[in-house]
A and B are shown apart, each in its own frame.
Chain A
Amino acid sequence: GQQVMQIPQYQHVQEGEDFTTYCNSSTTLSNIQWYKQRPGGHPVFLIQLVKSGEVKKQKRLTFQFGEAKKNSSLHITATQTTDVGTYFCAGQRGAQKLVFGQGTRLTINP
């Protein structure tokens, strides 16, 4: 079945440092989505990538979708304490179910 792997599982950075999480799918995806879950909260949709090689930016966050549509990354420039949380990627093939990666938990030293 479809699997989505995400690394690293945990990342601790100093405030101001950059952060990247990577997502790999066992199968070609029609789209990939990114979510953020704050401690004690629920996953919140951030963005969806659809096109091969697509790059999208949201302020300090940069999202990339690989050429083969099997991998993706989320990069945060100059982290702030508000970035703390777990970042999930989720892959979808056509109308099939949305499968989540295990998430990368980001903690930040102020």
Chain B
Amino acid sequence: DARVTQTPRDKVTEMGQEVTMRCQPILGHNTVFWYRQTMMQGLELLAYFRNRAPLDDSGMPKDRFSAEMPDATLATLKIQPSEPRDSAVYFCASGSGGNAFFGQGTRLTVV
């Protein structure tokens, strides 16, 4: 079964540390999304790429967050420096033709 793979599954880090989350989209999918999910805010779109080009990252705090796709098999989301309010589940999803297939998520806890 083709699936979106995210690493790590869980991450606990201290405030101020850099956090990098990785995503391997489904082969052949040309769109990659990064979402953040919290109880209060629901599913927020942070960034999305089409054919590796960033199309919209308006939902992402630019001062500390960055998203890249160094190649078609890897998307990264980086937070530097991390803060306790960044604690959430971060989902990567890929698609082609509109719908999105989600990875299992990275549960980030910043203490």
Contact = CB atoms under 8 A, between A and B. Distances in A.
A42 B104 contact: yes
B98 A42 contact: no
A31 B102 contact: no
Contact of B98 (A1, A33, A41, A99): A33
Contact of A42 (B45, B56, B58, B91): B91
B25 interface: no
A103 B40 CA distance: 12
Interface of B, secondary structure class, is strand
Of listed B50, B93, B98, residue having the most chain A CB within 10 A? B98
Interface residues of B, number: 20
B111 interface: no
Interface stretch (A14-22, A43-51, A63-71, A77-85): A43-51
A97 interface: yes
A92 interface: yes
Given A42-B105, A43-B91, A100-B42, A95 B48 contact: no
Interface of A: 1, 31, 33, 35, 41-45, 48, 88, 90, 92, 95-103
Interface of B: 33, 35, 42-43, 45, 48, 50, 55-56, 58, 91, 93, 98-105
